[in-house]
Structure 1
């Protein structure tokens, strides 16, 4: 089974793409640098709880929905 970090990164990328957002657009909506979003989507950066809350809000989801299916 894939690690939680990899499953989260895949989920984040999938949700961003479903909304037709580039990494740059998504990063701007979150107030993050694009390289930080890239790192999270590749599973090499582990977001803090505050960052997870920001990611969920930018995607129009609750934190629970962001983690659904992981």
Structure 2
């Protein structure tokens, strides 16, 4: 069954949602995850594909389970 959403946009908007809920900047999320701020920005905009390793790094930095970054809400 095909879906009508872009997985990169969905993932990125969820990263942004959880980051804002946590009250941290992109720069802080980048530092906590060991990634670059411009990479976090591109992920949040849905313009960057992301590896499984980096998904785990971001989820750990946000203190959430990885699957939550893929939920449609």
Aligned length, in residue pairs: 70
From 21, 30, 33, give the equivalent of 1:30: 33
Residue in 1 that maps onto 2:63: 60
- How far is 1:65 from its partner? 2.5
1:41 aligns with 2:44: yes
The equivalent of 1:5 in structure 2 is 8
- Cα-Cα RMSD: 1.3
- The normalised TM-score by structure 2 is 0.86
Between the aligned partners of 2:5 and 2:13, the Cα distance in structure 1 is 10
Shift of 1:44: 0.7
Unaligned runs of 5+ in 2: none
Larger Rg belongs to: 2
